[in-house]
Copies of this chain bind each other. A is one copy, B any other.
């Protein structure tokens, strides 16, 4: 538990608490963390900020809070699973688990909406809308992991430089003045694949794949991209924690 002058905001507190939990310096032998008032004192935050941070850590599977009993570190959380509630993006999420996402192949071209392989559900876009079609093959720790096919609305994101394609495209968007990623609709389903994804995963055509259809919106609520991500189903688990009320 580092001492510091400046107060933590929620995001900083999440990172600090996570570090302290992983180092085991905050929970006792049974895994119990200090009570909320104690944590408020130790990290110099109010209850609101503390509880926001604890909620994030619970969503990531690192702790749980038991009403009337206390807050506990979770002995093990699901190994190698992708948290659907991570709110940071895949690259950063995997980095947190000590794994590396690398983009191995990229292609980019401009197409009209009418020629797109798929379009967003329930969205009214003109057929002539110019889209930047980006296909990326990505490896997880040097193993084929996913094929991502994204369409970006050219009128919003402009040109995408090649160097931006190698890393996090959301980071590229966020860094552009006036653009900020707001929220993403995700639909998870199972689909048969053929062609590129099948070859990349080295499976026969007609094999199943875990597919995530994302519609991405700016914080203003405007759609700026939609994508389809094919995951190698043998290597992919999605994780989430559901709190009941």
Q: Are A189 and B237 in contact, with the CB atoms below 8 A?
A: yes
A185 touches B220 (CB 8 A): no
- What's the tally of chain A residues with a CB closer than 8 Å to chain B? 54
The docked-state distance in angstroms from the alpha carbon of A170 to that of B245 is: 11
Q: Which residue in chain B gives the minimum CB-CB distance to A189?
A: B237
A106 in contact (CB, < 8 A): no
B187 near A209 with CB under 8 A, answer no
Residues of B near A84 (CB, < 8 A) are 84, 188, 240, 242
A6 at the interface (CB under 8 A from B): no
Asked whether, in the complex, the Cβ of A187 is within 8 Å of the Cβ of B242, the reply is no
Contact partners of A170 in chain B: CB under 8 A: 244
Known A-B contacts A64-B217, A189-B210, A221-B69; the reply to A242 vs B78 at CB < 8 A is: no
CA distance A148 to B84 in the complex (A): 22
Judge whether A76 is part of the interface by a CB distance below 8 angstroms. Answer: yes
Residue of B nearest to A239 (CB): B187
A242 and B76 contacting across the interface, CB-CB below 8 Å = no
In the complex, which residues of chain B have a beta carbon less than 8 angstroms from the beta carbon of A185? 61, 78, 239-241
Give residues of chain A (173-194) contacting chain B, Cβ–Cβ below 8 Å: 181-192
A107: interface (CB < 8 Å): no
The answer for the CA separation of A66 and B75 in the assembled complex, in Å, is: 38
Point out the residues of chain B lying under 8 angstroms from A242, CB to CB.
Answer: 84-87, 183-184, 186
Task: Report yes or no: B220 in contact with A68, Cβ–Cβ below 8 A.
Answer: yes
Q: Mark A127-155, 1 if CB is under 8 A from B, else 0.
A: 00000000000000000000000000000
- The answer, yes or no, to whether A105 is at the interface (CB within 8 Å) is no
A 76-95 binary contact with B (CB < 8 Å = 1; else 0): 11110100111111000000
Does residue A42 face the partner (Cβ distance < 8 Å to B)?
A: no
The smallest C-beta distance from A110 to any residue of chain B, in angstroms, reads 26
Distance to closest chain B CB from A17 (angstroms): 16
Q: Are B87 and A243 in contact (CB under 8 A)?
A: yes
Measured between beta carbons, the chain B residues less than 8 angstroms from A87 are: 242-245
Chain A to chain B contacts (Cβ below 8 Å), 10 pairs: A64-B182, A66-B219, A66-B221, A76-B121, A79-B121, A84-B242, A87-B242, A184-B241, A184-B242, A192-B208
